[in-house]
Amino acid sequence: MKFWPQKKWKQILLIAVLTFVIVVASLLVFVMATINSDHISELEILNESGTKKALVIYHPGLSSFMKDTTYAFAEGLVENGWRAEITTASSEAPTDLSEYSVLVLGSPVYADNPSETIQRHVERIGDMNGMDTVLLVTSAGSEGGAEASMQRTVEVHGGNIVEIVSLYTSIPNDGDPLELAKESGRELVIE
């Protein structure tokens, strides 16, 4: 049995199918590399004179929604008098939590799971010593267990979940998602 067909139309069809498979496989490799890789960014400080300090670490995701949500939450913190230090999850992000009152972890959902970069960063932190932690979770329409997975990871490392905020791009939220994120930051109370 020959692999290469003799008829011209079958050759064209085979080339089209092989091209499609190669393109899809390349796209999948690119997406998997993007969602599982660290994104190094500078530590940005909002409200340097804030009375309490929040460390905000997020994975940017494939769209701007996670970053926008994270910054909206941080703006709410600032309106509430916090100093917010924001960066992306990477080997360069802070792991010493001793000078912070709260840790905010932001992750988009991929295949019902949180970003591996957020999970790796919590592992780099190690013992969280009861650190109050807020989880920001963004997804198209369902977090599919990502909240519970992130919560388990934080709790296994000794963190204390004080709030979980889930926002969606494709299904209705109870208002504008960025305003909801800002409101959550504004209303955060840590003793």
β 113-114/82-88 pair status: unpaired
Of 82, 78, 67, which Cα lies nearest the Cα of 136? 67
The predicted pLDDT at position 116 comes to 87
The pTM of the full predicted model, rounded to 2 decimals, is 0.81
Cα(157)–Cα(147) distance, integer angstroms:
16
Q: How do the pLDDT tens digits run along the chain, 191 residues long?
A: 567 777 888 888 888 888 998 888 888 777 666 667 777 889 999 999 999 999 999 998 878 999 999 999 999 999 999 999 999 999 999 999 999 999 999 999 887 888 889 999 999 999 999 999 999 999 887 777 889 999 999 999 999 999 999 999 888 888 899 999 999 999 998 87
The predicted pLDDT at position 33 comes to 65
Topology given in CATH for the domain delimited by 44-187: Rossmann fold (3.40.50)
The predicted pLDDT at position 104 comes to 98
Q: Which two tokens stand for residue 85?
A: 């230090």
Q: What residues does 133 pair with on adjacent strands?
A: 103, 161
User: CA of 41: how far to CAs of 44, 84, 142, 156, 180, in Å?
Assistant: 9, 15, 28, 27, 25
- Token pair 């989880």 in the structure block, residue: 135
